[in-house]
Amino acid sequence: MAKGKDKYAQMGYIAVSESGANTLTFGGISVFSNILTPKGLLIHDVKYNVPAASQNLILDEADAVTFGLAGDDTMSAVSLDDAQVYDYNVLGLVVDGAPATSSLIEIPKFIDFSHLPGGGKLVPADRLYAYVQGFSLATPASMNLRFNFTVVDLSAQEYIELAQALRVLT
């Protein structure tokens, strides 16, 4: 069983901007880890922020910004059926009748993983990426996030099982 290393939660921050309009783009965070001392990140919560400039690019129902966390930065697309996608969110416009009644969701968006068994979402410590991708937008979108986590010690077997479950190792 994973043993807690940190007594208190730490805070991480990732900012990512699309390299071009409607282009899936990743930004990562570096956490020390090596194969001889396997570690995991137990993510307790995430606060996503899509800046007003990116929100203002969403002009009709075809426009959207997707964003979240992933364990791989080489994916060509993100979807909920991929185990390497840890969190998936969409910011879009919903028109309720007349366009004047449309609204965006509340930002920042708060995701709480602390109710999960173990107190959070456990991911390998050596690979954590945020992603953003606009759809039908005129210019590149951006997103930033802040998350609370603790570092946990894993046995070699636990790390391999975690990596295989999240398709980091195949």
One-letter amino acid at 98 equals: A
Looking at residue 9, its pLDDT comes to 80
Nearest CA to 16 among 93, 90, 57, 69?
69
Over residues 38-60, mean pLDDT: 92
What pLDDT was estimated at residue 66? 95
* Residues 6+ positions from 168 with CB-CB distance below 8 Å: 71, 72, 84, 124, 127, 162
Structure tokens at 98: 């007349």
Going from the C-alpha of 52 to that of each of 11, 22, 118, 165, the distances in angstroms are: 23, 17, 35, 36
Would you say residue 29 has pLDDT above 70? yes
Share of the chain above pLDDT 70, in %: 84
The SS3 of residue 143 is: strand
pTM of the shown model: 0.86
Q: Which of 8-12, 94-98, 109-113 has the lowest mean pLDDT?
A: 94-98
CB atoms within 10 A of CB 95: 12
Domain boundaries, the chain: 3-165
How crowded is the C-beta side of 96, counted as CA atoms within 13 Å? Answer: 4
For the stretch 74-100, pLDDT in tens is: 999 999 889 999 999 999 887 776 656
How far are the Cα atoms of 27, 30, 72, 139, 153 from residue 34, in angstroms, in the given order? Answer: 20, 12, 17, 39, 12
pLDDT score of 135 more than 70: yes
> Residue 67: is its pLDDT beyond 90?
yes
